[in-house]
Amino acid sequence: MSTPPSADDQFYREYILDHYKNPRNYGRLEHPDISHEEDNPLCGDVVGMDFRIKDGVIDDVRFHGRGCAISQASASLLTERLKGIPLDDAKKINKDDVLGELGIEISPARIKCALLPLKVLKVGAYGLAGEDEE
């Protein structure tokens, strides 16, 4: 986890807002090898991911969706981490990794937002309905 730069807001830190407003790897891939979308029925957040896999490695990844700053920034941060790593390594990413990457204190009410992108990755990577990541 990188140390966040000093920001005036302890929750909506500058890098979170930056990922929200300027999401990395945003969009769709043509002919993805894996494509999956999940929503959070509580608040209507949606996150989907497309993956291109070459020799077991994530060659490219894009995410799309809409929702709060936390779900969208979490998705953006996750795609940065996923690009270029073996799919098997991606499968091992857990919720502590994701929360660590976000680097903020997440309340129980918002944890589903933060972990929605991870759920997309897991269900997409395993090709089946995954366990609840909460």
Member of 3, 27, 42, 134 binding other proteins (CB under 8 A): 42
Q: Provide DSSP, 58-93.
A: EEEEEEEEE--HHHHHHHHHHHHHHTTSBHHHHHT-
Measured from the CB atom, the residue of 46 and 53 that comes closer to other proteins is 46
**Residue 92 DSSP one-character state:** T
Member of 18, 66, 80, 91 binding other proteins (CB under 8 A): 66
Q: Does 9 bind other proteins (CB under 8 A)?
A: yes
Q: Does 85 bind other proteins (CB under 8 A)?
A: no
Helices 111-126/69-82 angle, 10° precision? 40
Sites of contact with other proteins (CB under 8 A): 9, 11-12, 17, 21, 42-46, 66-70, 107, 109-110, 113
